[in-house]
Amino acid sequence: MHIMMSFWIGLTFIVVCLSMSYGEDWQRNEVIRLVEAMNKKNTHCLERKDEERRKRLGVCVTGQLSRLELESKIRRLISLNSEAYEIDMVFVLGTNTHFVNGETDAGGRAEWSAELIRKAVRHWAPRVARVVVDAGPQLERPYIELSYLQASDKPWLGKARIESHVRQWWSLLRCWKHFIHLACKRQAPYQTFVKLRDDAFLLAPIILKNMNIQDLIVLPECGNFAGYNDKWAFLDATLGRAYFAMPVFEYYTNYSSLNMHKGNPENLLKRVLIKHQAPVSAVSVDILPILTSRFRTNEISGQTFPQNITPASCFLFDQLKLGKEPHCWPSDCDRRRAIYCDRCTVKRQEWLRDHFLERDSEFNSEQKAATCTAECRHRPISITSFASFASISK
């Protein structure tokens, strides 16, 4: 107990001290120190053994407390894999309620707390082994690499966007530190890691035993912005260091070696994974049925758990941002109906009007439902099965 308490106090102290630093040296030195320390532990704690024992899965959820969608993650991933895997869940979530990107800022807010997250996980997936909620302070003034800022693909958002990116990479490193700590404590390595963004909504069940991800990082194909989509990933645990620890390490210590031509997280992730020779497979939403979502305005309150912890979300955000590229939208009728109809009821019009300037005002909810039904009736498309994942990922 005392060791665990010292661990959390130490981690919080590090982040608070870094947040007070105005220069890059303190942050860079701390990144180097943390990565080197974790590399030493990684050697024995995450080394795979030949013992016949239950497989272990580590799930990392990053982002913001106020935007966390949890129910679909638990019901369609965690609970369905809890018999085959011993699962640890790590949440590294900030506490701010405003987002740099206006589209990202749309929608309602969740009223989560660390206690409520643990309670929700235990309610929906009682077999989860450990739940870690790291909602401590994030860097107040992250170091900004001038070359990255100058290469930004959204310069109008200024340095605030770059600071947000750096915090994202720190969050990944914090996940990695928690995973190593848990592996050392249990003296049992992980076989698989999953990384999900706070607002990731799972449209359908994902059964890991049906997925061949040995020696592979599986990422979404759409929304790559000239790099690798960083919203979610399913990866072999041997590639965990490259995915979780190296983005922030390379940014602080070897940025010029990445030869970045576009300043965004997707491009940096791609450069980092290529540099560290991590095999990647980018797949369609039919293979990984996940989309980002937004809460409907003023309809969310964590205090009403469990009856109303995650009311309906809407998905128009993705359509506006990503367009109607085939690989960005599911071909299966039920999944399309879930996106366009079932989860966005009467109040959808108010949400659209408030946040998207009536761009979809020609449809009311009844018309939208009819459109979905007609589309499914006239365009039956069979979904790619998970059984074919191995052939697609190679």
Look up the pTM and report it.
Answer: 0.79
Whether residues 318 and 269 share a domain: the answer is no
Question: Given this model, what pLDDT does residue 41 score?
Answer: 77
pLDDT of the chain, 394 residues: tens digit per residue = 444 434 443 444 444 444 444 467 889 999 999 999 888 877 677 776 555 568 999 999 999 988 888 888 999 999 999 999 999 999 999 987 656 665 556 666 777 889 999 998 998 899 999 999 999 888 889 999 999 999 998 898 889 999 999 999 999 999 999 999 999 998 899 999 999 999 888 888 999 999 989 999 999 998 888 899 999 999 999 999 999 999 999 999 999 999 998 999 999 999 999 999 999 999 988 899 888 876 655 444 443 343 334 434 445 444 434 444 555 777 776 676 665 544 444 344 443 444 333 333 344 444 544 554 454 444 333 222 222 222 222 2
* Cα–Cα nearest to 166, from 242, 231, 250, 91: 250
Q: Give the strand pairing for 85-94 and 313-314.
A: unpaired
Is 66 in the same domain as 11? Answer: yes
Distance (Å, whole) CA 170 – CA 139: 9
Beta partners for residue 59, in sequence order: 89, 194
Q: Residue 170: which domain range? A: 2-283
The verdict on residue 387 lying in a domain is: no
Residues 58 and 166 in one domain: yes
Do 268 and 308 sit in the same domain of this protein? no
* End residue of a domain, out of 283, 315, 331: 283
With respect to residue 299, please indicate whether it lies within any of the assigned structural domains. Answer: no
169 shares a domain with 83: yes
Q: Are residues 276 and 315 in the same domain?
A: no
**Beta carbons of 143 and 166 less than 8 angstroms apart:** yes
Q: What is the pLDDT of residue 321?
A: 44
CA distances (Å), 105 to each of 66, 198, 297, 377, in order? Answer: 11, 13, 11, 35
Q: 278 with 323, same domain?
A: no
> Does 374 lie in the same domain as 257?
no
| CB of 313 closer than 8 Å to CB of 292 | no
Residues 6+ apart with CB under 8 A from 230: 168, 219, 265, 266, 269
Tell me how far CA of residue 290 lies from CA of 153, 334, 336, in angstroms. 25, 14, 12
Q: Is residue 393 part of a domain?
A: no
Domain count, the chain: 2
CATH assignment at residue 97: 3.90.550
Q: Crossing angle, helix 158-186 and helix 246-253, to 10 degrees?
A: 130
Shared domain for 37 and 169, answered yes or no, is yes
Same domain assignment for residues 238 and 364:
no
Q: Tens digit of pLDDT for each residue in 301-330?
A: 443 343 334 434 445 444 434 444 555 777
Q: Are residues 77 and 196 in the same domain?
A: yes
Q: Is residue 149 part of a domain?
A: yes
